[in-house]
Amino acid sequence: MTRFTHPGYACLKTLLVLAAAAILLTSCAALPRRALPEKYEDMAQVDGLQSVRTWADEFNPAFQHTLVESVKQRQAYYESRGLPWPTADPLNFLAISGGGDYGAYGAGVLFGWTQAGDRPEFDLVTGVSTGSLIAPFAFLGPKYDDQLRKVYTTIDAKKVFILKRIFQIIGGDSIADTKPLAELAAKYIDAKMLKAIAAEHDKGRRLFIATTNLDAQRSMIWDMGRIAKAGRLDLFREVLLASSSIPAVFPPQYIEVKAAGHKYDEMHVDGGVVTQVFLYGPFIDPTSAAAAQGANFHDREKNMYIIMNNKVAGTYDPVKRKLADIAGTAVSSLIRNQGIGALDRLYLLANRDGFDYNLTFIPDSFVPATTKIFDPGVMNTLFDLGRERSLAGAAWQDHPPGFTP
């Protein structure tokens, strides 16, 4: 079977059997929740944190204001050090995709990039799914490389999830319990890291994470720097876990919001349900935000870096006449093509806005030694592969697959 897939594919047969059994055995009953009514869909806010998130598919004036504010902060940061403004320094954006255990590749790319000596500081970092877990480390820079390496080279499946018993699955909201992943996040995403992210936010840098609001079936973007500034470690971790929660396999995160004076919850799951990777889109306009502060981005070198924690080409492999294999291959193909579409959109965005496009992905020649998920051997191999490609200067290409430069 192919491995250009979401992390859950390797165990998809077992998961499909468990899910099918649960569907057949369960009644129409559902776990209780305080779901946000549809009429409040665009009004709901996290209590005490207004406009800390936005829909990814529409322009948001509040988020645009945040971007204008970031330019002001960057200006103040430069001027406080006696440096000229507008600056001529390159503008560097980094987008990190989903990919589950294959996120070890992206971790290796960043680690090797530091060792090569030419890794830039990123003005904007975004993450989806496993990319959301990598993003805070990437945002804070090389001093967090060792922690990132440990996360992606010393864990196994038991440190990520525990499969529930069949009677726990029936009538529940997931097949697995991600308590181990929550404990892992708590170990590394701590108050010290939150304070460091808040400090970088004050310098005008931005960290965005995508989740999928499953109630609305739309992508939602979270301003993680503002969450860090507010000292909301609980919410910061909750968003990261939500972005990594494969629907039905891992439990959703029920994020509490307030609307019309009442408290409700929103169901948030893996950001990869809607997009495998993102940078910016309809929700903000970086060029006009910079122009509002007299910072002409058109005259600056601009670099867009995309780490795709997956392979992008399919592998011909006749599918067995079995439900799990047919469903698994179909889902795998859907995810792969969704990812390619996202890479194409970013390429068009880069050309429109004058960015140099730089993409790295797992080479098609890579073949995992096992189909087990979160296998330490596979993850270490991928980490070393990403590191070696960065060191050799062979990690990046200037166009998405299928495009002729």
More confident residue, 321 or 336: 321
What pLDDT, on the 0 to 100 scale, is given for residue 20?
54
Higher pLDDT, 26 or 194: 194
Report the alpha-carbon distance of residue 386 to residue 365 in Å, rounded: 13
Q: Considering only 171-180, 278-287, 311-320, 321-330, which range has the smallest mean pLDDT?
A: 321-330
Q: Record the pTM.
A: 0.93
Structure tokens at 136: 């805070």
Averaged over 345-374, what is the pLDDT?
A: 92
User: For 12-32, how does the pLDDT look when each residue is reduced to its tens digit (9 = 90+)?
Assistant: 445 555 555 555 555 555 678
pLDDT band at 295; cut points 50, 70, 90: low
Q: What percent of the chain has pLDDT over 70?
A: 91
Looking at residues 125-137, what average pLDDT do you find? 97
pLDDT of residue 4: 41
* Mean pLDDT in residue range 214-226: 97
Confidence band (pLDDT; 50, 70, 90) for 1? very low
d(CA 59, CA 383): 37
What was the pLDDT predicted at 21? 54
| pLDDT value for 155 | 92
CA 123 to chain centre: 16
**309: Cβ contacts below 8 Å, ≥ 6 apart:** 96, 97, 98, 99, 100, 102, 103, 104, 105, 106, 130, 131, 361, 362
For residues 46 and 223, the answer to whether their CB atoms sit within 8 Å is: no
For the cut 80, the answer to whether the pLDDT of residue 324 exceeds it is no
More confidently predicted of 18 and 146: 146
Say if CB 12 and CB 241 are below 8 A apart. Answer: no
The answer to whether 275 and 56 are in contact (CB under 8 A) is: yes
User: Exactly one of 101, 145, 215, 270 is catalytic; which is it?
Assistant: 270
Q: Which of 60-69, 164-173, 387-396 is predicted least confidently?
A: 164-173
Mean pLDDT value of segment 80-94? 90
Give CA 226 to chain center in angstroms.
17
Mean pLDDT of 232-236: 98
Q: What is the model's pLDDT at position 325?
A: 76
The whole-angstrom separation of Cα 229 and Cα 66 is 13
Residue 6 has a pLDDT of: 43
Reported as a pLDDT band with limits 50, 70 and 90, residue 170 is confident
pLDDT at 117: 97
Least confident of 40-49, 332-341, 390-399: 332-341
Catalytic residue (one of 129, 132, 174, 245): 129
Contacts of 212 (CB under 8 A, 6+ apart): 218, 219, 220, 268, 269, 270, 271, 272, 273, 274
pLDDT in tens, 251-263: 999 999 999 999 9
User: With 60 as the cut, is the pLDDT of residue 83 above it?
Assistant: yes
Q: Is 129 a catalytic residue?
A: yes
pLDDT of residue 302: 93
What separation in angstroms does the CA of 80 have from each of 73, 75, 84, 330? Answer: 10, 9, 10, 55
Contact 126, 95 (CB under 8 A): yes
Rounded average pLDDT over 130-141? 97
Q: Is the pLDDT of residue 10 over 50?
A: no
**What's the CA gap between 243 and 37, in Å, rounded?**
22
Active site residue 325: no
| Mean pLDDT in residue range 155-183 | 87
Q: Which one has a higher pLDDT value, 350 or 18?
A: 350
Confidence of residue 150 (pLDDT cuts 50, 70, 90): very high
d(CA 188, CA 142): 15
What gap in Å lies between CA 256 and CA 263, rounded to an integer?
A: 7
Average pLDDT over residues 215-234: 97
pLDDT on residue 166: 75
